[in-house]
Amino acid sequence: MTIYNIALIGFGGVNRALAELIATKNALWEQDLGFRLNIVAVSDLQLGSVISPNGLDAKTLVEANFSKGGFGQLSGGSPDANNEAIIKTAPADIVVEATFTNPIDGEPAVSHCRWALQSRKHVITTNKGPVAIAAPELNAIARAHGVRFEYEGSVMSGTPVIRMAERTLAGAEVKGFEGIVNGTSNFVLGRMEAGVDFAAAVAEAQALGYAEADPTADVEGLDVRLKVVILANELLGASLKPEQIKCEGISRLSPSDIKAAATANRRWKLIGSAVRNTDGSVSGSVAPKQLPFSHPLAGVSGATNAVSLDTELLGDVTIMGPGAGRIETAYALLSDIVAIHAARSTCGMKEVA
């Protein structure tokens, strides 16, 4: 039976949800997936850091109501976060990077991933920043050190759009895609269609936990732009940077725009797209578009995400599923570990009779 020791960098909603799953699902994973997960370290900006070579109790981590610096109360703990030391010295096989997304330079997450890979530790992340900005570099480091860099959850949360396209649709020849990959903006547009004005719809999204206190990244398309870069580079072999993607959000849409579209049997959606051009180059964009009701993306509502892949052999193939949520995103991390396990990597693996 295989045990993977993991270090959690960030202990907000996503990594906390992964710890919840470890506390309740480890026995099932051992039976169905062939491995168990053992948390040996955690570092968090608010809670501090802790290392335990023999493992930390996942249930205690989840249920204890730690205050600021609370990890300092634990054996091997400190009230201060020390991400670099945890990443480099913890006896972990896999580092789980789930800190905040920086859309400018990807830091500090890029450095977190780089340190882990250079330490011959696998990295899994849901963080869009390092994937959109530094994936080629990080993948090269991973290959050079015999480990893997996995990031399924960076787009569409736990819905496996990247692996679906690369593995299940291998050979179908993806030529482009268009998608709804931001649940907040999609929710806001749906509420506006129901007659709620933009500001009130954003406030509703914030109250429901879909939108941050500053919703700019969602409603102005900045979050979608990072995801377009990730998908274009991953599925179309592009080398795009975020600044190369034309980007327009939904804040300029008025109630009259929404009403006029409905009258014409059309619906506004914030669409992220990319296409391979005839000269082999790839171009992408983010913009609100009017879609006819018959379009496969027109009926995608609420916080649901969907991507329609344009393939040479199958035509359009649409993948739809949850685009947000703590447990859903934690599942993406699990799927990355499944991929690492399936690759039969022996790096840092501990075999137990």
pLDDT by residue (tens digit) across 3-29?
A: 999 999 999 999 999 999 999 999 999
CA pair distance 294, 11, nearest whole angstrom: 42
CA pair distance 8, 232, nearest whole angstrom: 28
pLDDT the model gives residue 90: 97
Q: Which residues of the chain have pLDDT under 70?
A: 345-353
pLDDT the model gives residue 95: 98
Cα-to-chain-centroid distance, residue 60:
26
- Please tell me what DSSP assigns to residue 97: E
pLDDT the model gives residue 347: 47
Burial of 247 (0-12, 13-18, 19+ CB in 10 A): middle
pLDDT the model gives residue 209: 81
Answer yes or no: is 88 a known binding residue: no
pLDDT the model gives residue 348: 46
pLDDT by residue (tens digit) across 221-270?
A: 999 999 999 999 999 999 999 999 999 999 999 999 999 999 999 999 99
CA pair distance 212, 112, nearest whole angstrom: 24
Domains observed in the chain: 2-157+327-351 (3.40.50.720), 161-322 (3.30.360.10)
Strand partners, 231: none
Active site residues: 227
Answer yes or no: is 128 a known binding residue: yes
Omega before 288 cis (within 30°)?
no
pLDDT the model gives residue 30: 96
